[in-house]
């Protein structure tokens, strides 16, 4: 299937959501072939007619995080171009490898400490550019395609927000809805409170516990809850009790 008379869609490799509470669809990610550059790329596509088009915000966030002067500090995919037409917005970016959990399951001899340190470096680089990610979870960390020079990258900036304005002042963005992934979200996110760098680190802490084979108390909660607000209240209580 062709897209924009330039890309051949090969297969779907993932999807994003704006809110795990409301399940508002954000977009899909495809493995595609760019017939202009003869490269395999990742395409992230968003329907224009959804209630909030935020793909351009993600494109701008990743563009801000490009490190052309020091490629070794590049912690996000290389981004190529943003496209728009009547039906959809989409952008092309570097096609990377498996997410970190899938990779470590496939290669159990992987140095866990190295991978954890790489993930933390990703978060640090994002924060250094005045951005909070707000959806830190294992599936949003992927590895490079080069097994001889294994690096970890952070992806999916659909929920990200700036925390510093043009004057260098910290911005307090008041949330009106739950943001993130229920399993890894911080207490502030569940309480729909002001979110900052600390909340990315709380999510990283929950990932770290899983890497250390420590089960999160709320993992055992029935995922078929029909009342998502009731589920969040229970998780809030469990987070507070486990601190």
Question: How, if at all, do strands 7-19 and 2-3 pair?
Answer: antiparallel
> What pLDDT shows up at residue 35?
95
Torsional sign, CA 237, 223, 21, 195 = positive
Q: What CA–CA distance (Å, rounded) separates 97 from 20? A: 25
- Backbone angle region of 213, left / alpha / beta, with phi > 0 → left and psi within -120 to 50 → alpha: left
Residues of the chain with CATH 1.10.510.10: 100-242
> What pLDDT shows up at residue 24?
42
Q: What CA–CA distance (Å, rounded) separates 216 from 239? A: 9
Q: Give the residue numbers annotated as catalytic, written as ranges.
A: 135
Contact yes or no for 140/155 (Cβ under 8 A): yes
Segment 91-123, tens digit of pLDDT: 999 999 999 989 988 887 778 888 999 999 999
Cβ-proximal residues to 203 (8 Å cutoff; 6+ apart), any chain:
135, 136, 137, 180, 184, 185, 186
User: Is the model more confident about 222 or about 14?
Assistant: 14
Beta bridge partners of 114: none
Residues of the chain with CATH 3.30.200.20: 2-94
Q: Quick one: which H or E segment has residue 161?
A: strand 161-162
Segment 7-65, tens digit of pLDDT: 999 999 876 654 443 334 457 899 999 999 999 999 999 887 655 667 888 999 999 99
Token output for 85: 């037409």
Segment 154-199, tens digit of pLDDT: 999 988 999 887 777 777 766 667 888 888 988 888 787 888 999 9
Q: Under CATH, what is the fold of the domain 2-94? A: Phosphorylase Kinase; domain 1 (3.30.200)
Length, in residues, of the chain? 243
Q: Quick one: which H or E segment has residue 65?
A: none
CATH class of 100-242: mainly alpha
């Amino acid at each position: 299937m062709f897209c924009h008379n330039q890309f051949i869609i090969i297969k779907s490799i993932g999807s994003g959501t704006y809110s795990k509470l409301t399940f508002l669809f954000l977009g899909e990610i495809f493995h595609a072939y760019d017939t202009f550059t003869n490269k395999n790329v990742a395409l992230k596509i968003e329907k224009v007619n959804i209630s909030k088009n935020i793909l351009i915000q993600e494109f701008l966030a990743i563009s801000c995080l490009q490190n052309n002067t020091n490629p070794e500090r590049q912690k996000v995919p290389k981004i190529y171009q943003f496209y728009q037409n009547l039906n959809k917005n989409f952008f092309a970016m570097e096609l990377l490898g498996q997410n970190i959990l899938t990779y470590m399951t496939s290669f159990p001899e992987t140095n866990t400490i190295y991978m954890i340190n790489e993930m933390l470096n990703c978060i640090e680089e994002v924060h250094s550019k005045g951005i909070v990610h707000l959806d830190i979870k294992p599936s949003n960390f992927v590895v490079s395609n080069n097994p001889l020079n294994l690096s970890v990258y952070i992806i999916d900036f659909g929920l990200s927000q700036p925390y510093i304005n043009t004057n260098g002042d910290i911005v307090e963005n008041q949330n009106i809805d739950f943001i993130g992934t229920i399993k890894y979200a911080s207490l502030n996110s569940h309480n729909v409170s002001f979110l900052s760098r600390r909340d990315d680190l709380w999510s990283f802490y929950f990932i770290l516990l899983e890497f250390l084979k420590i089960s999160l108390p709320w993992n055992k909660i029935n995922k078929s809850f029909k009342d998502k607000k009731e589920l969040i209240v229970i998780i809030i209580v469990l987070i507070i009790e486990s601190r």
